[in-house]
Structure 1
Amino acid sequence: MTYCVAMHLADGLVFISDSRTNAGIDQISTFRKLFIFSTPGERLIALQTSGNLATSQSVVNLLKQRCAGNGVNLLNVGSLYDATALVAETVREVVCRDRTPLSDTTDLTCSFLVGGQIAGGKMDLYSIYPQGNFIQATPDTPFLQLGESKYGRPVLDRNLTYQTSIGTAVRCGLISFDSTMHSNLSVGMPLDLLVYQKDSFSDAKIHRITHDDFYFNRIRLQWAAGQHEMLAQLPEPPDNYFMPINKVVSA
């Protein structure tokens, strides 16, 4: 399993991905799921992926190879929409190529998040479904997720808006991952974090979070302690909150 989240904010973009891939309790590996295509001062495009690892690796490798050629590629398309359409087309190409009668029982599909900015255009963020169609993040829906999303979604729903600062969004995202890893062992470290400031292009910041990361450990411990403290401060239920059991049985 995996978990990726990307946030589209007024001031920039935030991407966080885990790196755990497992095919059983005794087959756990680490693979990067965040990839960057950039031209200094002109464009930055970030890809996050989940699903079949063989398919997603083939897609990313094809996209990289084609950037060295003269055809349409992620380093010369004119917009983020075009970049997303190109990734979607490559996903369909790889799945079609690898599909055989023997793979009918194997799920070859994968999903992508594509975000970034190209000079002359605005920032964008898209989510590509396994079928190759895609949706766009909006100010009303400022974040998109892949994979094991349910455990980490509540903190984002409660705290993240389009106007949220990048710093607050990073904290929300990291707590979202802490909640997910606490409840699901199929999501794990290291985490890859990318922060992109609007109109900065090649000045994006990236950081790999490991088990001994001082900042991540500090905020996850502070978050847990704060929740315990708030829970203790909530009022006790009043005496008339419960109904006597004999009235329930006789009803």
Structure 2
Amino acid sequence: MTYCVGLRLDRGLVFMSDTRTNAGVDNVSTFRKMHIWEAPGDRVLTLMSAGNLATTQAVVSLLDERTKSPDERSPSILKAPSMFQAARLVAATLKDVISEHSDNGQRADSAFYATLILGGQIANGPPRLFLIYPEGNFIEAGDDTPFFQIGETKYGRPILVRAYDRDMSFESAVKLLLLSFDSTIKANLSVSLPLDLHIYKEGTLTAGTRKRIDVNDPYYHEISSGWSDALKDAFNRLPDIKL
């Protein structure tokens, strides 16, 4: 399992993903689940993946190979005219890979399933964020649904729902995501550090801050312990039930 979040803000997009994969408790590995393509001044696209590792690696490899010589390898996400068309291309690639690895057409609940988050900005279009399903269809984040989660989503969702603000700073957004990931990591062994972070500022059309947060990161530990202490303090200040 894994956990990835894409967050849409007024000032841009924030992405965070863990790196753990497992095929049982005795087969745990670390793989990058965030991939970035950019043509500075024209576009930046970030893709995060959850699900079958062979499927997601095949999708990323196909997309990446087509960018090496986009004039000769088509279709390329570096040539897509809009984020919507880029999402269609990624969705079609995912569906094709799943179908290729199945005997009679793949279903979302089968062994080769995968789900993707794609976000970025192309040319004069606005930053956009998409959730892409194994069946090859997708939805877009908007004012009512400003973030997407994939993988092990349930433990980290409550803090996002309670504390998200579209006008928040990038610094506050990273803090919020770290709390969401910390809650998930403490509740589920299939999600773990290191975490990958990418911050994209609207209008820059170049990849922004990229950071890997490992097990020794002091800020992560400060946030984790501070949140635990704050929750205990808030719990103790709540009134007891009268029996």
Scaled to the shorter chain, the TM-score interval is: over 0.9
Read off the aligned partner of 1:60 and give its amino acid letter. Answer: V
Q: Which residue among 154, 176, 183 is the counterpart of 2:187?
A: 183
Read off the aligned partner of 1:113 and give its amino acid letter. Answer: I
Unaligned 5+ runs, structure 1: 243-251
Partners of 2:95 and 2:83 in 1: CA distance: 18
Q: 1:156 to 1:106 in 2, by over 3 A?
A: closer
Q: Is the 8 A contact 2:38 2:207 kept in 1?
A: no
Q: Is the 8 A contact 2:18 2:191 kept in 1?
A: yes
* Structure 1 residue matching 2:124: 3-state secondary structure: coil
Could you say which residue in structure 1 is the equivalent of 2:171?
167
Aligned length: 238
Read off the aligned partner of 2:31 and give its amino acid letter. Answer: F
Cα deviation, residue 56, structure 1: 0.6
Cα deviation, residue 165, structure 1: 2.3
Could you say which residue in structure 2 is the equivalent of 1:114?
118
Read off the aligned partner of 2:49 and give its amino acid letter. Answer: T
Partners of 1:211 and 1:66 in 2: CA distance: 35
Q: Is the 8 A contact 1:140 1:162 kept in 2?
A: no
TM-score (norm 1): 0.91
Read off the aligned partner of 2:85 and give its amino acid letter. Answer: D
Unaligned 5+ runs, structure 2: none
Partners of 2:110 and 2:151 in 1: CA distance: 18
**Larger Rg over CA atoms:** 1
Could you say which residue in structure 2 is the equivalent of 1:211?
215
Partners of 2:164 and 2:111 in 1: CA distance: 33
Q: 1:203 to 1:96 in 2, by over 3 A?
A: closer
Q: Does 1:54 align with 2:54?
A: yes
Read off the aligned partner of 2:227 and give its amino acid letter. Answer: W
Partners of 1:36 and 1:27 in 2: CA distance: 27
Partners of 1:132 and 1:77 in 2: CA distance: 17
Q: Does 1:76 align with 2:95?
A: no
1:103-156 per-position Cα deviation (integer Å, ceiling 9, x unaligned):
999611111000011121000000001111000000121110001000000000
Cα deviation, residue 53, structure 1: 0.5
Identity of matched residues, %: 43
Cα deviation, residue 211, structure 1: 0.4
Q: Is the 8 A contact 1:44 1:118 kept in 2?
A: yes
Could you say which residue in structure 1 is the equivalent of 2:154?
150
RMSD, aligned CA: 1.6
Could you say which residue in structure 1 is the equivalent of 2:97?
94
* Structure 1 residue matching 2:206: 3-state secondary structure: helix
Cα deviation, residue 203, structure 1: 4.4
Partners of 2:205 and 2:226 in 1: CA distance: 33
* Structure 1 residue matching 2:80: 3-state secondary structure: coil
* Structure 1 residue matching 2:41: 3-state secondary structure: coil
Q: Is the 8 A contact 2:44 2:207 kept in 1?
A: no
Q: Is the 8 A contact 1:45 1:115 kept in 2?
A: yes
Could you say which residue in structure 2 is the equivalent of 1:249?
none
Partners of 1:93 and 1:231 in 2: CA distance: 50
Cα deviation, residue 164, structure 1: 2.4
Q: Is the 8 A contact 1:140 1:161 kept in 2?
A: no
TM-score (norm 2): 0.94
Partners of 2:15 and 2:114 in 1: CA distance: 18
Read off the aligned partner of 1:11 and give its amino acid letter. Answer: R
Identify, as 1 or 2, the structure richer in helix. Answer: 1
